[in-house]
Amino acid sequence: MSDRTRSRRRIHQALIKKELREVIRDGRFWMIALIIAGLSLVALSFGLSRSHAVASERAAAQHEANEQWRGQGNKNPHVAAHYGTHVFKPVGALPFIDPGVEPFVGVSVKLEAHRRNDSAAGRAEDATGLSRFGGLSVALVLQLLIPLLTIGLGFSAWTAERERGTLRQLASLGLPPRLLAAGKALGIAAALGVLLVPALAVGGAIIAVWPDAANGHEHAVTSSAARSLAMLVAYGAYFLVFVSLVLAVSAWARSSRAALVVLLGFWVAAALVTPRAASDAAAWLAPMPSQAKTATDIRRSIAEGLPGVPREKRIDEITEKLLAEHGFQGAELFMPPALLASTELQAEAAFENEVIDHHYDRLSEAIERQERLSQTAAVVSPVVAIRSLSMALAGTDFTHHRLFADSAEQHRRALVAMLNEELGKKGGDDAWSYEAGSELWERAPKFEPTKPGLAWVLDNQRISVAALLIWLIASVLAAWWGARRLRVV
Amino acid sequence: MLRNVFRLEWRNVWRDAAARAVVLVFALLAGYAAFGGSRSVSAARDAQATAERDEVARLNELREQLGAIAGGAPVKHVADPRNALLVGRELAPRVAALPPGPLAVVAVGQRDVLPAVIELTTKTRRAGARHDAGASPLEKSNGPFDLAFVFVFLLPLIVIALSYDLLSGERERGTLSLVLSQPITLTTFVLGKGLQRAALVLGLVIVLALLGPVSSGAELAASGAPLALHLLLYLLLVALYGVFWLALGVLVNSRGRSSAANALTLVGLWLALLVVVPGLASVAVDTIYPSPSRVELVNLARAAASDAEARTTAVEGDHGKPADATSAEQAIAMQAELERQLGPVQIRFREQHQRQQALVDKLRFLSPAILLNEGLSDVSGSGVARHQYFSAQVDVFHARLKAFFEQRVRRGTPLTVADYDAMPRFVYEEPPAKELALRVGASLLALVSLIAALLALATARLRSGRPSSGR
């Protein structure tokens, strides 16, 4: 290592030390840090106890539902398909960090023959008016309060030096501006670190023991290690955006006061106004069909068939195909009666599934259109980007919910198909008086919810990831450029 | 002298491009919120009208079938309009709707999560499928962009922007010494400036607050509640809330710190009153009175219904099994048994919700923001309280509906047109205006005393003369 680099490094260290010392000697920093630490602690312990309760509650409920299914007594397999069962949503990977949309969606789906039910048993109805303030979560602290703290720490980083007259001194050192800017950024980052590193240690410890805490709930989304790491990176980038923005504005501003006003204005616009305005405007510009309309459309299509293909015609087509598979095409009369009944039931179910798919595909398209639109607001607000990314990584966004609903539907189809098939195999001459028992209920397929990996999440969050990156590059460039053109007096 | 200060300040604020921009942006946001509010209220009204129309259409269809059967048409036993048991529990679900409140345009409140249309059969009581798009889960979790949001969250920030340098700015520009060399006291000067800001804020707030009601004029006329009272309470709430933040600004300025320090202090207070206190209050409510588990209820309901369902599959007959004639009495007995098991659970939910709301009613005094938010929910009729009132009426109606059909099932004769005419109908009654006036009145009183206290403190500080001209 040359002397030159060594002395540079020493200057660099001295700069960071100076910035950090300035912050740490400020009584206000400690007060705010204490408040934020206290809040994080409350949010973390509340979030944790809530997710713990939810996880064990759902595990118990799933167990109970499975027991009910097994203990339903002797009955005809198709009657059992009508009786159905319930599946419960697995708890997200990191719900205690970001509850996301979880409080506003259902958590259990009733599975039964002939229909796809919406998820139910959500908690939204149990909330008081206080929920309008957004509740208290770790995500709230990270997304809203830390940026505000960053603003408080750094708005006068450059302007105060100029106002005190120390900027001239600093400039006379002959250091490149980017080094000075980096020193200031690291100073603020170090101050944030004083607060964040202990929080991170606590959070990390919790995540490490979480699978056990989930009480053997086998459905808990896995890959939480990768997700936690990604979340760490995402929030790191997000904080860096704010540190750089604060430094950039402080370099460009005429006075500390102007810098503060601009930064607070930005925070209000980015953190308060844009997320609400974006989801509100998206719902207006890309409206979704009403629940009642979708339900009516499905009911009508099941009664009449999809446009252009009448119900009976389509069911006949499917029946023919199934008969051919069994080797009885055109020879139904020679078929065992139960097998014929079963084939007809299968054909009816296949037709219903086609109808359901048709309508749900359109619904999904509408939902995705609206979501893309509201995600696009991330271009004007990094808060929108991190919100979306954070709940996706926590496994608590609407996309994860829909994935659960879809895998419940796939399970329903497998279950109904298996029961109908059983009717054909065992029903003999009189399908409808045949009764199966617990042996069959035991053999029924088990619900295996899809466990999406990190790649899937990031693919869904392309817009947010890209927006966050753009914000990062732009803000770092602005901070660097601001330091270069800094006026000394 | 006071008048001179007042007039001078008008000119100063008017010439300040930043102040003009702040006011303009705020007005635009309020305008957008009012527009969105009237959009969602008319969608909600249309949705209810559709649900009610569907109900009438269903009944008319059944009546027609009744006529056709009398004329000799064949009877479909799974849809027999003469079968009281079947009509009561399946064929003719009744609708109970909570119309949007008189000022629903102001606040979404809990309207997007609590069902406004409830569908009732003798067997079930559940939220009817929504006929409007409703809010997406993301929208619900972000919160609505309504006038309540604009006033509760953004108005304080606008007031802070207009008042954080009320006195400190004069000192920093060096104009304070100049002013105080005139025959005027510091207190009068600040009073004049404060009054000007108050006039500005009040004018702005009242004009913007009226945007909502004006933009949905037609809707207002339709509701039965005393509109004048609601409007008056609404305007008073918002105006006093604005004045509260202004008084806070004056108090912070009276400490004689720099403009930047004032801004930070005021934003810190904003954070405390709008994020920290409500957040902690909601944690407290959830911890002290946690809602019973809806997840457990799923299995509980199923276990209770399991027996009944197993025995009644034949009656409902998805695959054409004939209904059992002797099952009517049995079905009533099973329904009664089901209610005996599940009734207490439902009561537990209701009582816990009432306890939660009672606690919120107390905790609201911890922050003017909660006072305003609850108050706006109340005057707009979008809050939990009015919904609980509605829900209690639905329960009474449900009992009537069940009694009506039970009587006919026991009678054992087919339903006639006269029975269809006598079927109970749900009519919603607004809660007494006195209750609203008392609740909101207490909030207003709290705001007024808070403002008085802040101003007394500020005056005392200014009189002591500490923040004169220098540092």
Q: Is residue B97 predicted with pLDDT exceeding 80?
A: yes
The residue assigned the tokens 């119309």 is B99
Calculate what percentage of chain B has a pLDDT beyond 90: 30
Residues of chain A with pLDDT under 50: 212-222
Query: β-strands B94-97, B117-120: how paired?
Result: antiparallel
- Whole-number pLDDT of residue A212: 46
State CA B396 to chain mean position distance: 23
Question: What does the pLDDT look like over B405-414, one tens digit per residue?
Answer: 988 888 888 8
Say whether A101 and B137 touch across the interface (CB within 8 A): yes
- Whole-number pLDDT of residue A272: 92
User: In this structure, what token pair is assigned to residue B392?
Assistant: 């209690």
* DSSP letter for each residue of B171-237: HHHTHHHHHHTSS--HHHHHHHHHHHHHHHHHHHHHHHHHHHHHHTHHHHHH--S-HHHHHHHHHHH
Candidates A118, A99, A320; CA nearest to B134 is A118
Contacts of B136 in chain A (CB under 8 A): 279, 283, 288, 367, 370, 398
- Whole-number pLDDT of residue B156: 95
The beta-strand segments (E) located in A69-202 are 85-88, 108-112, 115-116
Question: What does the pLDDT look like over B270-304, one tens digit per residue?
Answer: 999 999 899 999 989 988 998 888 888 888 888 88
User: In this structure, what token pair is assigned to residue A352?
Assistant: 């219903």
Candidates B299, B265, B178, B317; CA nearest to A57 is B299
Any chain A CB within 8 A of the CB of B369? yes
Q: Is residue B225 predicted with pLDDT exceeding 80?
A: no
The whole-chain average pLDDT of chain B stands at 85
Residue B327 confidence class, pLDDT cut points 50, 70, 90 = low
Give the SS3 label for residue B449: helix
Backbone angles phi, psi at A85, to 5 degrees: -150, 175
d(C-alpha B33, C-alpha B211), whole Å: 9
Query: DSSP label at A253?
Result: -
Burial A99-134 (b: 16+ CB within 10 A, else e): bbbbbbbbbbbbbbbebbbebbbbbbbbbbbbbbbb
Give the SS3 label for residue B426: coil
From chain B residues 64-83, the ones with a CB under 8 A of any chain A CB are none
Say whether A104 and B291 touch across the interface (CB within 8 A): no
Any chain A CB within 8 A of the CB of B50? yes
- Whole-number pLDDT of residue A389: 95
Q: From the CA of B142, how many Å to the nearest CA of chain A?
A: 5
d(C-alpha A457, C-alpha B60), whole Å: 50
Give the SS3 label for residue A109: strand
Q: From the CA of A3, how many Å to the nearest CA of chain B?
A: 43
Name residues whose C-beta falls within 8 Å of residue A248's C-beta, 6 or more positions apart in sequence: A475, A478, A479, A481, A482
B95 pairs with which residues across the strands? B119
d(C-alpha B202, C-alpha A54), whole Å: 46
Question: What does the pLDDT look like over B344-375, one tens digit per residue?
Answer: 888 888 899 889 999 999 999 999 999 999 99
Q: Distances in Å between the alpha carbon of A327 and those of A53, A281, A339, B297? A: 53, 56, 12, 47
Any chain B CB within 8 A of the CB of A274? no
User: In this structure, what token pair is assigned to residue B3?
Assistant: 């008048």
Name residues whose C-beta falls within 8 Å of residue B284's C-beta, 6 or more positions apart in sequence: B359, B363
Q: Is residue B52 predicted with pLDDT exceeding 60?
A: yes
Q: From the CA of B164, how many Å to the nearest CA of chain A?
A: 10
Backbone angles phi, psi at B290, to 5 degrees: -65, 140
Interface A–B counts its CB contacts (< 8 A) at 212
